[in-house]
Amino acid sequence: MSNIRTRFAPSPTGFLHLGSARTALFNWAYARHHGGTFVLRIEDTDRERSTAESEAGLIEGLQWLGLDWDEGPFRQSDRADRHTAVIEQLLAEGKAYRCVCTRDELEDRKQAVLEAGGKWTYDGRCRDAGHGPDCGEHTVRLRLPEEGMLGWDDLVFGPSGQDASEIGDKIIRRSGGDPLFHLTVVVDDFDMGITHVIRGADHHPNTPFQIAIYEAMGAPLPHFAHVPLIVGPSGKKLSKRRDPVSIEAFREQGYLPEGLRNWLVRLGWSHGDDELFSREEIIEKFDLDGVGRASGQADPDKLAWVNQQHIKDAPLDTLMAGLEAQWPKHLDKAPEHDERLALAIDLNRERAKTLDEMASLCAVLLRDEVDLRSEASAKAVKKHLKVAALPLVESLYAALSKLDVEEWSESQLESVFEAVAAHHDNVKLGKIAQPVRVAVTGGPISPGIYETMIVIGRSRCLPRLERAIEVMRERAEQAG
RNA sequence: GUCCCCAUCGUCUAGUGGUUAGGACACCGGCCUUUCAAGCCGGCGACACGGGUUCGAGUCCCGUUGGGGAUGCCA
């Protein structure tokens, strides 16, 4: 057990999205790899935007992804007293001061500076004004050092930092009394003994100011690791409107947590030429030295492929359970968890990229009715239930009728097909199989014909073949 | 605008001064084959540009271009 401690600190202002999920994943993986501790902390200091539903969604998303935490969830809002105490302390020590500048005043001065071609940081008007607690509505600002480097050695980006003089005294407490992010995150990370702050690169520019807070508190710095951002397929920043970013949405589309996790971990991190990682392999191989510095695009095609790889060797129970949410889209009622379902799933493991596809493919084998005259079957019927195939299907039907239920096996079906083919000038098996496939499934696509017929079952196949024969005879008559 | 970061096939990436620049997804072709997949084999395809440093640069330095982030009493 090492004493490495990481944390995931989302703000509950929306669903768990791709970027957050990956940050959580990296923190979790780093902690697990090094035998450390992973802490979950909800950053709900923005009371106006934080919601309980969002918090629940965040937690549900993490659990679904298999990212378990060792401590928490802690809520920043529960730590308000501590935050207040730190601010008071800083005030008492003169490391922070009260500022009575209003938003409008600040905005005006900022614009003036910008228009004059200067660069804006807080101009320090209240810095030495010595405003007391009774100065009326005020914010609290951290008093930054006049000069000196606020630097650190980023575990991903390397030596980083900014001179204190370039930053300006930022606000750490709102006029309403609530502490601000920069303050709370530092206090909480310090109190919780976080040793490695792993977060999105969008926080890289915030780090110098936060370091100033650590220094003002006399607290030791944690290690910082900023991981590159994820951008959308367009190359632009992920947009909630255009890009699929909600973990919940991926789940609904039928991606497995294993698949999504694997895809996510490879976005910005690599381990040689390895592509596929189980949860255990992520823990075994993940480390910060494999994290790159360039932001990357999320590629849905890669996700589909990775997910398919995981579907291939997922336990049957996992698939059955995950499929429950998908059935309504494809069948009137969910199938029993029996041998038949198990076989249908196994037959489609290599054909489905998502659970949604899996359900769709299985539905073809499991549904009770096949209507050859339906719109959906029209094309396949026209193409494969041709008059020429009639004698083939008739012979096959006759031979099949003689098999009883116990004989309805792959080897028996195979011999029947071969015998029929032999009787008809050794036609290619495909000449028989394809019409039969359409007859029993209503479409041109399915697993191997024998396996397909076994899942569908003798009692369903025979009547369906009869119907197909009827259809073909009608066509023969129409043809004259 | 200012500050900061980034830059290898379309995409994810390997690469730590000497490589025919490798792998994966996608795409294309072939094999297999009763369909669809899967699998196997092969192909297409990149060091953004310009200067340096060096015997030698994808690798180091500078600049340009491009992309991104930050610049909140959001996180």
Distance CA A293 to C1' B57 in A: 21
Q: What is the overall mean pLDDT for chain A?
A: 93
What's the whole-number mean pLDDT along residues A237-264? 88
Contact A145, A113 (CB under 8 A): no
pLDDT of A1 over the 60 cut: no
Indicate the pLDDT class of residue A411, thresholds 50, 70 and 90. Answer: very high
Distance CA A272 to C1' B18 in A: 22
What is the model's pLDDT at position A242?
66
Distance CA A228 to C1' B69 in A: 10
Which element (helix H / strand E) includes A279? helix A279-285
What's the whole-number mean pLDDT along residues A344-354? 97
Kindly state the percentage of chain A with pLDDT values over 90: 84
A79/A462 Cα distance (integer angstroms): 70
Phi (first) and psi of residue A457, to 5 degrees: 95, 150
Indicate the pLDDT class of residue A480, thresholds 50, 70 and 90. Answer: low
Q: A138-186 pLDDT, tens per residue?
A: 999 999 998 889 999 999 999 999 999 999 999 999 999 999 999 999 9
A110 is catalytic: no
Quote the ipTM score: 0.94
pLDDT of A410 over the 60 cut: yes
What's the whole-number mean pLDDT along residues A392-406? 93
What is the model's pLDDT at position A46?
80
pLDDT of A348 over the 80 cut: yes
Distance CA A56 to C1' B25 in A: 34
Nearest-CA residue relative to C1' of B36: A445
Distance CA A235 to C1' B46 in A: 18
Distance CA A121 to C1' B52 in A: 37
CA distances (Å), origin A399, targets A39, A258, A434, A437: 66, 46, 17, 17
What is the model's pLDDT at position A264?
97
Distance CA A109 to C1' B1 in A: 16
Nearest nucleic acid nucleotide to A447, CA to C1' distance: B36
- The whole-model pTM stands at 0.94
DSSP for A94-151 reads TSEEEE---HHHHHHHHHHHHHTT-------TTTTT---TTSSS-EEEE---SS-EEE
Lowest mean pLDDT among A94-98, A146-150, A264-268, A463-467: A146-150
Distance CA A153 to C1' B59 in A: 22
What is the model's pLDDT at position A50?
86
Indicate the pLDDT class of residue A116, thresholds 50, 70 and 90. Answer: confident
Nearest-CA residue relative to C1' of B26: A301
What is the model's pLDDT at position A310?
98
Nearest-CA residue relative to C1' of B38: A350
Q: A307-335 pLDDT, tens per residue?
A: 999 999 999 999 999 999 999 999 999 99
pLDDT of A451 over the 90 cut: yes
Contact A38, A6 (CB under 8 A): yes
Nearest-CA residue relative to C1' of B13: A270
Nearest-CA residue relative to C1' of B2: A119
Indicate the pLDDT class of residue A253, thresholds 50, 70 and 90. Answer: very high
Q: A455-469 pLDDT, tens per residue?
A: 999 999 999 999 999
Nearest-CA residue relative to C1' of B23: A273
Nearest nucleic acid nucleotide to A178, CA to C1' distance: B73
Nearest nucleic acid nucleotide to A312, CA to C1' distance: B38
pLDDT of A236 over the 80 cut: no
Q: Which tokens belong to A300?
A: 């849905």
What is the model's pLDDT at position A325?
96
Catalytic residue among A110, A119, A170, A240: A240
A20/A385 Cα distance (integer angstroms): 53
Phi (first) and psi of residue A158, to 5 degrees: 80, -160
Residue A297, helix vs strand vs coil: strand
pLDDT of A406 over the 60 cut: yes
Nearest nucleic acid nucleotide to A137, CA to C1' distance: B73
What is the model's pLDDT at position A13?
86
Bases of chain B below 7 A from a protein C-beta are: 1-8, 10-14, 22-26, 33-38, 67-75
Nearest nucleic acid nucleotide to A441, CA to C1' distance: B35
pLDDT of A352 over the 90 cut: yes
What is the model's pLDDT at position A239?
67
Let me know the angle formed at the C-alpha of A448 by A426 and A316, rounded to the nearest 5 degrees: 160
What is the model's pLDDT at position A241?
66
Nearest nucleic acid nucleotide to A10, CA to C1' distance: B75
